[in-house]
Amino acid sequence: MAYQTFRQEYLQVPPVTRAYTTACVLTTAAVQLELITPFQLYFNPELIFKHFQIWRLITNYLFFGPVGFNFLFNMIFLYRYCRMLEEGSFRGRTADFVFMFLFGGLLMTLFGLFVNLVFLGQAFTIMLVYVWSRRNPYVRMNFFGLLIFQAPFLPWVLMGFSLLLGNSIIVDLLGIAVGHTYFFLEDVFPNQPGGGRLLRTPSVLKAIFDTPEDDPNYNPLPEERPGGFAWGEGQRLGG
């Protein structure tokens, strides 16, 4: 019975979010079970381009460290904001969402050539958080009951939290930079005088991922309803 309930809930998760978070969890489990090691996964340009270990372009986005607070914190944020994007502004546009993944991953990988980062998954999560926060500017956030602020400040609050924990903020800055690049090209520049849409989802992705009809029984997410999501009414972010 419990298995059926879990399976039903799991299958209700939108496909891109389900695939990415599952891949992250399975990768971490494989490392914990010592089936693979982080040395087989990390981002290394020399091994990628000279020794053709192409899988590292993907696996460095799937490992968030050993199971612990940092892993759980990242998984919660990844799952939550990836799902809210996919069920919100990308609803019915799975191909566009996949294209955002590809664009963000490519840009982040190019930046990764010039910064000393071996795993880019956390930066990718910050990118998702940034795009969601800019598309939901009036949502009120409650961070551990300590801070109340509008959604666009969330990536910067997370960067400050990383700083307090003694972590490098390069990861957060990279995610913010890539997220802002996507947001500007997709949401800002097309609406500027003389602007236009520079990011266009390839037709092959649309043919693979997009469904012809929307679900008539769709119930909008809280942040899509008038007034936004009630973050300031007792719900705490991360706790």
Q: Is residue 139 part of a domain?
A: yes
> pLDDT digits over 164-183, tens only?
877 788 999 999 999 999 99
Written as six digits, the tokens of 214 are: 């929307």
Q: Which residue has the tokens 């939290």?
A: 161
For 198, phi then psi, to 5°, come to: -95, -25
Residue 164 located in a structural domain: yes
Task: For residue range 14-64, list pLDDT tens digits in order.
Answer: 999 999 999 999 999 999 999 999 999 999 999 999 999 999 999 999 999
DSSP 8-state secondary structure symbol assigned to residue 143 = E
Among 88, 82, 86, 108, which Cα is nearest to 174's? 108
Q: For residue 25, is it within any domain?
A: yes
pTM, two decimals, is 0.84
CA distances 160 to 28, 68, 155, 166, 167, Å, are 26, 20, 9, 10, 10
Residues shown for the chain = 239
| Dihedral angle, C-alpha 144, 149, 150, 153, nearest 10 ° | -80
Q: Residue 220: inside a domain, yes or no? A: no
Residue at 81 is within a domain: yes
pLDDT tens-digit map of 201-217: 999 999 998 866 555 55
Total domains in the fold of the chain: 1
Q: Token pair of 232, please?
A: 């300031």
- Do the domain assignments include residue 223? no
- Domain encompassing residue 77: 1-192
**Tokens, residue 127:** 């990118």
Q: Given this model, what pLDDT does residue 222 score?
A: 54
Is 198 a domain residue?
no
117 vs 24: CA distance, rounded Å: 18
Query: In the structure encoding, which two tokens stand for residue 112, read together?
Result: 């990764």
Asked if the structure places residue 107 within a domain, the reply is yes
- The CATH code of the domain that includes 179 is 1.20.1540.10
